[in-house]
Amino acid sequence: MYAEHASASIVSPPARKTLTAWGRSSVSTSNYHTPASVAELHNSFRAARRGTDSTQARGLIARGYARSYGDQCLNDAGDVMDTTQLRGIRHFDVATGLLECEAGVSFAEVTALCLPAGWLPAVCPGTSFVSMGGAIANDVHGKNQRHAGTFSDHVVWFDVLLPSGAWMRVSRESQAEIFRATVSGIGLTGVIVALQMQLRRVQSNAVTMTESRIPNLQAFLETLPDASARHQYAVGWIDALTSGPHMGRGIMEVAEHAESGIAATRRREFTWPFDCPAWMLNRASVGAFNAAYYHRVSRNGRSRAIHAAQFLYPLDAIHHWNRLYGKRGVYQFQCALPFAESQKGLASIVKHVVASRSASFLAVIKYMGKQGAGLLSFARPGFSLALDFPRRPDTLALVHRLHDIVMEHGGAVYLAKDACLTAPQFQAMYPAASAFRTIIDRLDPARAMQSDMARRLGLR
């Protein structure tokens, strides 16, 4: 298959481009390819592999919409393959919910196409500006992880352009080892080109969401398990600056797909216009925001019907919201701890964050019930906590201390959000990394697939 794409053609030379990702904390300069079709992708891939010795030594990596936070989609002094023009919807079966599309299609496009017909991706990340290829490469999860697992649980097959230049259709049954390595494999087994996935049937375009105040972290750990069992979606927002008996207070959101829809009016969207100066995000300003956000929900809670996209992708209403953190960017820390260690581990993490006086107004806690299928899948039974930190001179030391706490309690850090892990920390958190490295070394002895993250973590 795909033999028609192997024909020789003229390939435009790549641009030389300085790149970053959503966190803007990592920067690199690369040869930047923008293939507009599968055929161009194949030819650009071959051209990149035939590059000079110095370029080839740095390899190449695929890049989608760059919503990962660190250096996963960066490849300094090497090649980067932008896949966002591969946006063909090849087939959508309205009766069965099977969707076949190219890897550059985003969750926003799938939602816009399929929700009016009564279907949604079974697993949606926190933003719709993620490509299908990126969803596989990170085995993303959503607010329904306990019930739906991870994205790969709903992938029937995917096509990948291997480091050798050969094409392969991969499924759990036909190529189980490559499936487990590519799912969550941060792009190191090749370039994902297309996929088929099973969507989830929904009754309408709306969800019924209930919000309630949670007084502290301990209460979250006690209430989230039952809430996530009884509801399709469950997630908590935490005030990461409050200490004492109210440490970790927040708002819990639970939701179900509504039986009847609502008017599909376009929600207000806003583009953040500038990079905030460093002094704007401080303990006082973020503390004031957190207090207002907590108290906007009454003691008795509230329920309302909202559009499914508004619930699934709440921050998409503010374009370029990462500018809030200023030109230096942001480190995001997201960990998962096993249930037995969550109470001590998460309390220790929150105490360190409170003591550091670091501002983090985006703090999210989730219950996770299923292990991801990939060798490097982040999802695992336990509690997940995500925190954002403006990048300042002392922030890296704080994040590394949080990493130590995660290791002490047998947890792991999400690679899609990471910019700071060291190779020894990564190996301790992901014991399957050795098996993963063996597979990619066999698939790619010339090390054609590389990235800044892969080198930082000791995978290449």
Domain ranges of the chain: 98-202, 206-420
Mean pLDDT calculated for residue range 351-356: 93
pLDDT for the residue 46: 87
pLDDT for the residue 52: 41
Distances (CA, A) of 313 to 72, 108, 124, 184, 231: 22, 9, 8, 21, 18
Mean pLDDT calculated for residue range 137-165: 97
pLDDT for the residue 11: 66
Percent of all residues in the chain with a pLDDT value above 70, rounded to a whole number = 95
The candidate with the shortest Cα–Cα distance to 388, out of 272, 195, 240, is 240
Choose the weakest-confidence range: 26-40, 189-203, 255-269. Answer: 255-269
Q: Tell me which residue has tokens 């990079």.
A: 275
**pLDDT band (50, 70, 90) for residue 55:** very low
pLDDT for the residue 10: 60
Strand partners, 170: 158
Distance CA 326, CA 310 (A): 26
The model's pTM:
0.95
**DSSP per residue over 116-185, as a string?**
GGTEEESS--S-S--BHHHHHHHT---TTHHHH--GGGGEEEEEEE-TTS-EEEE-TTT-HHHHHHHTTS
Each residue's pLDDT tens digit, 244-280: 999 999 999 999 999 999 987 667 788 999 999 988 8
pLDDT for the residue 282: 86
pLDDT for the residue 83: 97
Distance CA 389, CA 399 (A): 9
CATH hierarchy code of domain 98-202: 3.30.465.10
Distance CA 345, CA 341 (A): 6
170, 153 Cβ separation under 8 angstroms: no
The yes-or-no answer to whether 98-202 and 206-420 have a common fold is: no
Whether 4 shows a pLDDT value over 70: the answer reads no
CATH superfamily of 206-420: FAD-linked oxidases, C-terminal domain (3.40.462.10)
Distance CA 135, CA 430 (A): 19
The candidate with the shortest Cα–Cα distance to 385, out of 361, 349, 418, is 349
